[in-house]
Amino acid sequence: MPWFAGSSIPLSVRVPHLVPAMGSRFERAVALGYGDLDAYGFHTLEALQCMVEQRSGGETGIQSVETVSGDRVWEFLDAAWSPLVNAAYATCPQKSGAPFRELVKKPVLFALEYRDGLRAAAVLLNGAISDWAFAGASGGQTVACKFGPIGKTRPLPHFDGLAHNIEELMLTGRPPYPVERTVLTTGALAHLFESVRTGKRVETPALAIRYRAADPPYVQTA
């Protein structure tokens, strides 16, 4: 029985078109998003995971998570993280030149440490953006994109890729990517809410989830 779940965001158009090659290496990665912590926090985690799962060695899972909010977010986004946040933000078509501190009244950051050493963050910037974007750093190089088409010719065009893949699943019986991705992101989100409750970092031994990403992954191109 095929299993298929997850966000519409990873399957949508990427601008500029960015599909990390299988075996890519990332030292750090960032996804930007907006909205509430649960539903839209999930979309932001999926935007992050669909990129970093292509890295060398395959996915091996998440070691710990922590939810950071308020002024602690700006403290976390130090010199090591700011270039990635700025690179992702630069791909968003509707943005302000004002500092994040002025635009975002209640910032929230999900910090993730993966079992293979990758460090990543998903940042919700309500007031600054209404898009999802990604940036990753590897060997001194930074790559970045936003998810979803620029300009809307009709309501919710970012669902096109998801609808297409649901049709393909029904016709072929094959899911477009491993369901383990969504097991990992939903598990991470559950532990991130535990971090909200405790105010502390949470170790996540249950998220030692291994899988090999689809190669090549489906990404809508138009």
Question: What pLDDT is stored for residue 121 in this prediction?
Answer: 98
Instruction: In whole angstroms, give the CA distance from residue 160 to residue 173.
Output: 19
- Which domains are delineated in the chain? 12-153+180-207 (3.30.360)
Summarize the chain as % helix, strand, coil (round to 5).
35, 25, 45
Question: What pLDDT is stored for residue 6 in this prediction?
Answer: 96
Calculate Rg over the CA atoms of the chain.
16
Positions of the chain with pLDDT under 70: 152
Pairing of strands 119-124, 28-33: parallel
Question: What pLDDT is stored for residue 48 in this prediction?
Answer: 98
Question: What pLDDT is stored for residue 152 in this prediction?
Answer: 67
Question: What pLDDT is stored for residue 207 in this prediction?
Answer: 98
Instruction: In whole angstroms, give the CA distance from residue 52 to residue 55.
Output: 6
What's the distance, CA 63 to chain centroid?
17
Question: What pLDDT is stored for residue 137 in this prediction?
Answer: 94
Instruction: In whole angstroms, give the CA distance from residue 9 to residue 148.
Output: 7
| Four-CA torsion 152, 156, 162, 163, nearest 10 degrees | -100
Question: What pLDDT is stored for residue 96 in this prediction?
Answer: 81
Judge residue 215's burial from the number of C-beta atoms within 10 Å of its C-beta, 0-12 exposed, 13-18 middle, 19 or more buried.
Answer: exposed
Question: What pLDDT is stored for residue 214 in this prediction?
Answer: 96
In the 8-state DSSP scheme, what is residue 25? -
Q: Give the CA diameter of the chain.
A: 50
DSSP result, 154-191: SS-GGGHHHHHHHHHHHHHS--SS-THHHHHHHHHHHH
Question: What pLDDT is stored for residue 156 in this prediction?
Answer: 84
